[in-house]
Amino acid sequence: VLDITINQVSSLFSNIVNFFIAIVFAVYILANKEQLKQQTKRFIYARFDKEKSDHILKVSRLSRDSFRNFLTGQAKEAVILGVLCAIGMFILQIPYAGPIGALTALTAFIPIVGAFIGGFIGAVLIVVIDPMKALIFIIFIIVLQQVEGNLIYPHVVGKNMGLPGIWVLVAITVGGSLFGIVGMIIGLPILSIIYAIVTE
């Protein structure tokens, strides 16, 4: 037991340290982004011929725009889902409408399954007060998730990224089956880049 406890504590401490190092590293990169951008550009042109260098920079710009559009679309979708959840809970007179709506919006940054995570935490909070309301909430969040996953998400995020709705579902399904939650998050921007290159 002592051995397991020590391993868990050291692992937690290591993760916390890595998190803060990552933040510091990100701040340094952002502070020097223009200089790093110029250095990287000069390195690419020094290493490859002009045509190949132009192509690399073009794909890099596509990647940047794709991830930016993905985050913007994801934020819009999260706000829509959170507001719909809060309004629905308010109409059904389910307690904690505001906090659970905000929590659902926060977890919605994980595509498709995010609402279920928020819904599970919300159900645990509600069941303490009223088990019947918790059951109603579970049914409501399942229906809301189906509407969000099949109608709202492909339309809002797909439109923001310039992808047809069907390709959004393909990216999330394939990415999720190959790499889990990480695949669901990065699958869409990657498919968007490929789609833009192939289309061109």
pLDDT in tens, 106-149: 888 776 677 778 888 888 888 888 888 888 988 998 888 888 77
User: Which bin fits 93, alpha (ψ -120 to 50), beta or left (φ > 0)?
Assistant: left
**pLDDT at position 81:** 85
**pLDDT at position 112:** 63
User: With a cut of 50, which residues of the chain have pLDDT below it?
Assistant: none
Nearest to 80 by CA among 104, 61, 63, 57: 104
Amino acid (one-letter) located at 179: F
**pLDDT at position 93:** 87
**pLDDT at position 27:** 92
**pLDDT at position 111:** 65
For residues 84 and 198, what is the distance between their CA atoms, to the nearest angstrom? 36
User: pTM for this structure?
Assistant: 0.69
For residues 26 and 60, what is the distance between their CA atoms, to the nearest angstrom? 19
Nearest to 98 by CA among 88, 107, 108: 88
For residues 141 and 123, what is the distance between their CA atoms, to the nearest angstrom? 9
**pLDDT at position 23:** 92
**pLDDT at position 21:** 92
Q: Which DSSP state fits 95?
A: S
**pLDDT at position 200:** 76
Residues 6+ away with beta carbon under 8 Å from 191: 163, 167, 170, 171, 175
**pLDDT at position 42:** 92
**pLDDT at position 24:** 92
